[in-house]
A and B are shown apart, each in its own frame.
Chain A
Amino acid sequence: MTRRPAAIDDESLIAALRLAAGRDPVPGHVPATARAAFGLRLPGAATALPVAAPAPRDVRDGGEERLLRFTTAGLTVDLEVTSMDGLVDLAGQVSPCPEEGTRVEVRTPHLTEARELSATGQFAVTGLPPGWFSVVCHRPGQVPVVTSWTRIRP
């Protein structure tokens, strides 16, 4: 008995036709950014995965707010995301509050911002470009915890 060939979905047919036609090639900046992203790898880091967070609420000044939560064994990163004028502000809380000397990095494919964690486990970064970002938590003597890449487009 032979297996019937699997049905190919519409999008794959369209993609294959267009790719072969060669009229919509990938813009050069796309692979260039992907090549540069290799510098963002963190071998051995523990990945904090997204879990359900409280629903976003409207903010009166016209901005938009989102709450995101990422967890891994023993550590939760909560992020409050606001956007103004096309840029993104992040306010974060790491819990349980890690020991002194913990450093946080907010990374995008284009820039990385480092912050010392406050005594209560908080940090903030403002004016990030919209797009993909991830937060790394470097605790002294432990493997880094990194949040799964998330896209923010105001």
Chain B
Amino acid sequence: MSDQHTIDAALAGDQAAWDTLVNRFSGPLWSVARAYGLSAADAADAVQGTWLRLLESLHTIRDPGRLGSWLFTTVRREASLIGRRSRGERPVADPADAGGFRPGSSPAEDAPDPALLVLSADEGRRLWLAVEAMQEPCRSLFRLMATAPDAGVHQLAGRLGMPSGSYGPTRGRCLNRLRTMLTAQEAAS
């Protein structure tokens, strides 16, 4: 069933069509929420909020091809807001935080589409192939980061044998290197 058919069926009240969307996107949405450093409880809130917003906005999604992007932009926004609130950075009401967000807007219209990277199993395999070709400490850092999602910076740094203060900058450099490798692959293909 195409996204258009699925959306039309859900709009017509078909629970099975809605379930199809939920089953397809929940795993990736969860991974995105967790990538913002959210606890399991906060990530569950971010994903749940994303589905509730889709329920509000489903009838306004005119381009079904952008449904994945819409969901990803929304979960990123919710995860970012919840993360800031949990860290005590913005102790104000969520709706005020949401600023320009309006149900029915197409948030990702002109932005790059990171959703595709997360949604495609092929992309995931390609990423790990690139990681396995990286030198240390990046290879170990990514393996550890992926397999210990709840580990704190102290723990991760300790297991990598580096001072806690070095973990963040090292991770940033490794992510930049991975990005460069992907860009080079794309240019070569």
- What residues make up the interface of A, taking CB atoms closer than 8 Å to B? 5-21, 23-27, 29-31, 33-35, 37-38, 40-41, 43, 47, 49-53, 55-56, 66-68, 70, 109, 131-132, 134, 146, 148-151, 153
Neighbour of B121 across the interface among A20, A26, A51, A66, CB < 8 A: A20
Q: Do B117 and A26 touch (CB < 8 A)?
A: no
Cα distance A38–B20 in the bound complex, in angstroms: 12
Neighbour of B94 across the interface among A19, A31, A43, A150, CB < 8 A: A150
**Besides A12-B35, A12-B118, A49-B95, 17 other CB < 8 A contacts?**
A6-B111, A7-B183, A9-B114, A12-B115, A14-B175, A18-B35, A19-B27, A20-B124, A24-B31, A33-B48, A38-B18, A52-B96, A132-B49, A134-B52, A148-B103, A151-B94, A153-B85
Cα distance A151–B48 in the bound complex, in angstroms: 10
Contacts of B30 in A (CB 8 A): 24-27, 30
One digit per residue, 1 when the CB lies within 8 angstroms of any chain A CB and 0 when it does not, for chain B 91-135 equals 011111010001100000001111101100101110110010000
Q: Do B19 and A47 touch (CB < 8 A)?
A: no
Cα distance A32–B69 in the bound complex, in angstroms: 22
Q: Do B49 and A149 touch (CB < 8 A)?
A: yes
Q: Do B22 and A41 touch (CB < 8 A)?
A: no
Interface of A is mostly: mixed
Residue B179 lies at the interface, judged by CB distance under 8 Å to chain A: yes
Contacts of B59 in A (CB 8 A): 43
- Smallest CB gap from A64: residue in B: B91
Size range of the chain B interface in the assembly: 35 or more
- What residues make up the interface of B, taking CB atoms closer than 8 Å to A? 10-11, 13, 15, 18-19, 22-23, 26-32, 34-36, 40, 44-45, 47-49, 51-53, 55-56, 58-59, 76, 82, 85, 92-96, 98, 102-103, 111-115, 117-118, 121, 123-125, 127-128, 131, 142, 145-149, 172, 175, 178-179, 182-183, 186-187
